[in-house]
Amino acid sequence: MKQLFVLDPIKHINPIKDSSAALMEAAHKAAIEVWICTPSDLQAKGNKAGVCASHVDPEPWITVQEPQNLALNEFQCIWMRKDPPVDEAFLYATHLLEVAEREGVLVLNKPASLRAWNEKLGALRFSKLMAPTLVASRVQELKDFAQEQGEVVLKPLGGKGGQGVIRIATGAPGLEALLELVTLQENLPVMVQKFLPKVLEGDKRILLVNGQPFGAINRRPKDGDFRSNLALGGKAEATELSLREKEICEELAPALKKEGLFFVGIDVIGGMLSEINVTSPTGIREVEQLMGIPLSEQIISQLLDKFS
């Protein structure tokens, strides 16, 4: 079997922390040929999709062979693991991957769903599981909502890793000016959510494989911050799922499976769903190290079951 990983440039990937590296190593252990490319290496000639890709040996990290021009239908599975932003280049890559998908190649996660499930807006499908939330561009509506909630968190819809997330007390001076700024003078929608004080105890990242929870970590914010993202200095801790968190996973599972979202990371704060991460979920290395679970190997095993 041959699998292709569509990634950021390999030199930017830290194998000690990166989930894509963990998946590549697990695939290699399972006697799968591992190939890599970037989105710019994808192409289509007529109705046939191709790629300029390199065969790699990820252990020890990493031996990269000279690139070759191949048809995408030579791969049984393609992992789309390019990090956000979901910009024009990302979107066009998903369209090119759909050409391969029409030729029978399994693409993870499903290209159409990568486009449809914005990592902030996708959670709105399950709004009853979330804290009170408003997505809007109009400053007055955002301001009224913030005043109703008392304290809120402002999230840019295209952000990643906690970047640009702001905690706002509604009595703070300059709220209206801030809302004008982040909405680009009411031209860009943003998400505002009720602030959940439980986030100071941690934000739980739960990794779901084919709709089922396979591992989780608790991410605790560093001193002086409320954002728990590991990229911003949050600390990962071992954890177990509560009954409420298991119920959230069960609620999401049918939709995730139906829409071809095979590997997903959800964020839960105080029993409330916060985000559904579908582009390139992280956390595999932390789960393996803290929980003693061979998660990457389990994910590849689940994937191979699809071909048996």
Rounded to an integer, what distance in angstroms lies between the CA atom of residue 80 and that of residue 92? Answer: 12
Count CB-CB contacts under 10 A for residue 197.
10
The enclosing H or E element of 268 equals strand 263-269
Cβ neighbourhood burial of 17 (10 Å; 0-12, 13-18, 19+): middle
Q: Which of 81, 82, 219, 285 is catalytic?
A: 219
The enclosing H or E element of 104 equals none
Looking at residue 214, its amino acid is F
Q: Which of 205, 229, 245, 259 is catalytic?
A: 205
For the question of residue 205 being annotated catalytic, the response is yes
Q: Which of 98, 245, 267, 286 is catalytic?
A: 267
What angle (nearest 5°) sits at the alpha carbon of residue 158, between those of residues 164 and 231? 50
Q: Assign 280 to helix, strand or coil.
A: coil
Question: Tokens at residue 100, please?
Answer: 């391969």
Q: Which of 109, 218, 229, 277 is catalytic?
A: 277
Q: Assign 146 to helix, strand or coil.
A: helix
Q: Which of 82, 110, 227, 285 is catalytic?
A: 227
For the question of residue 267 being annotated catalytic, the response is yes
Question: Tokens at residue 147, please?
Answer: 């005043």
Rounded to an integer, what distance in angstroms lies between the CA atom of residue 131 and that of residue 88? Answer: 31
Contact 108, 5 (CB under 8 A): no
Q: Which of 275, 285, 286, 288 is catalytic?
A: 275
For the question of residue 219 being annotated catalytic, the response is yes
Cβ neighbourhood burial of 53 (10 Å; 0-12, 13-18, 19+): buried
Q: Which of 81, 82, 120, 194 is catalytic?
A: 120
What is Dmax (Cα atoms) for the chain?
61
Q: Which of 81, 82, 110, 155 is catalytic?
A: 155
For the question of residue 277 being annotated catalytic, the response is yes
Looking at residue 69, its amino acid is N
Give me the active site residues, please.
120, 155, 205, 219, 227, 267, 275, 277
